[in-house]
Amino acid sequence: MHTLIRNIKTLLLANNQAPKLVQGADMKTLSQLNNAFVLVEEEQIVDWGSMDNCPTFSPDQTIDATGAFVLPTWCDSHTHLVFAATREGEFIDKIQGVSYEEIARKGGGILNSAQRLQTTPHEVLLESAYQRLMEVKNYGTGAIEIKSGYGLTVDAELKMLRVIRDLKSKTKMPIKATFLGAHALPLAYKENRAGYLDLIVHKMLPQIADEGLADYIDVFCEKVAFSVAETEQIMEAGAKYGLKPKIHTNQFNCMGGIQASIAHKAISVDHLEVINDEEIACLLASDTMATLLPSAPFFINDHYPQARKMIDAGMAVALASDYNPGSTPSGKIPFVLSLACIKMKMLPEEAIHAATLNGAYAMEESHRLGTISKGKLANLIITKPMNSIAYMPYAFGSDWIDKVMIAGSL
């Protein structure tokens, strides 16, 4: 089965020798080829180039992309897509002046989501997560990382990870699973932190590893959640089972979470609404991706990460949605691009790099996703006709995506 996309106004990120990630000043130079074609065979990109060299045989399917841009789908490397219930009550509390951290301290927030998830059956969680997955696919997401962390008991954490496993078999979209048992301290362990860490290390992790349910390990390293020492303990326990860290840190406080994550060879450190010069220097010297989630500070009315400062210092940054019922009830990456440009002063080219190739790096998928390259998976966005790539973050309320191809299928 061959699909030929022809008459593409501009093909973005086409490169057969694509790097694993793009950083610093290079982020603003996005490869653009005008009047182009892409040829897909089964699940893969097999050729691309100028229309002057367009294949002349009759493919099984032809798509005319006159006026349109074609680019790789988003790699959303940080989500909490599996959850049992939305949290509009807290939304109203926040409107009336209660902060996100106060809600968490009062036993709302993550604990509220965990209580609901614990009593929700597997099939119900699977169906609602699948609906969300289909929703974000229409927004151009072609690969996704999904975390546990709303279970907080052995059974419920396993249930969440098994839902993620079952999602994998329902779609061709590449999915990575992350174990986030250390998302919040359950009320039952309020006076026994060590007991909960023990449960994670000695009960949850062995069984998760035994069933092969997780690719990564995460901790919410923050004053309202887990300390740096606790984060280190969990990263070390995860490493024994081959789980690399992707860590929530620096959402509200600089506590040393970035340094500790880098020391434990984290794939990414995520949030970074607060960061200091020492932490930027550490990230520059590391292979760890800085993943920014601007929909979270948008929704909880917090300040945004200093993306400009990070990129100008030479860092690579990725953008992800953080789709979750508490801080970010949205998985819409086009809106993330708009926030990145409007609130964090990223250029459209930088934002697109951050949501594609650098997102792929943050979930160890840049060998097969994130650029238009021969041999990579045919995960493509075909836009509606538009004048320039700046239209994508500019038109923040418009649906400018026409078609989404996942592993060769529209």
Q: Which residues bind ligand NIG (CB under 6 A)?
A: 80, 109-110, 113, 220, 248, 251, 296, 322, 324-327
Would you count residue 222 as binding Fe ion (CB under 5 A)? Answer: no
**CA-to-CA distance for 257 and 270, rounded, in angstroms?**
10
| Min CB(353)–Fe ion separation in Å | 21
Would you count residue 322 as binding Fe ion (CB under 5 A)? Answer: yes
**CA-to-CA distance for 410 and 379, rounded, in angstroms?**
9
Of all helices (H) and strands (E), which one includes residue 341?
helix 333-344
| Min CB(125)–Fe ion separation in Å | 18
Q: Residue 6 touches which of Fe ion, ligand NIG, none (CB < 5 to 8 A by kind)?
A: none
Q: Residue 334 touches which of Fe ion, ligand NIG, none (CB < 5 to 8 A by kind)?
A: none
| Min CB(103)–ligand NIG separation in Å | 8
| Min CB(340)–ligand NIG separation in Å | 17
Helices 154-170 & 122-138, crossing angle to 10 degrees?
50
Would you count residue 215 as binding Fe ion (CB under 5 A)? Answer: no
**CA-to-CA distance for 380 and 44, rounded, in angstroms?**
11
SS (H, E, C) 153-213: CHHHHHHHHHHHHHHHHHCCCCEEEEEEEECCCCHHHCCCHHHHHHHHHHHHHHHHHHHCC
Question: Closer to ligand NIG at the Cβ: 291 or 379?
Answer: 291
Question: Closer to ligand NIG at the Cβ: 4 or 225?
Answer: 225
Range 222-254 burial, b when 16+ CB lie within 10 A, else e = bebbbbbebbbbbbebbeeeebbbbbbbbbbee
Q: Which burial class, exposed, middle or buried, applies to 47 when counting CB atoms under 10 A from its CB (0-12, 13-18, 19+)?
A: middle
Question: Closer to Fe ion at the Cβ: 46 or 274?
Answer: 274
Of residues 156, 180, 176, the one with CA closest to residue 167: 176
Write the binding mask 237 to 256 for Fe ion: x where contact by CB under 5 A, - elsewhere: --------------------
| Min CB(179)–Fe ion separation in Å | 13
Question: Closer to ligand NIG at the Cβ: 327 or 358?
Answer: 327
Question: Closer to ligand NIG at the Cβ: 36 or 164?
Answer: 164
User: Interface residues with Fe ion (CB under 5 A)?
Assistant: 322
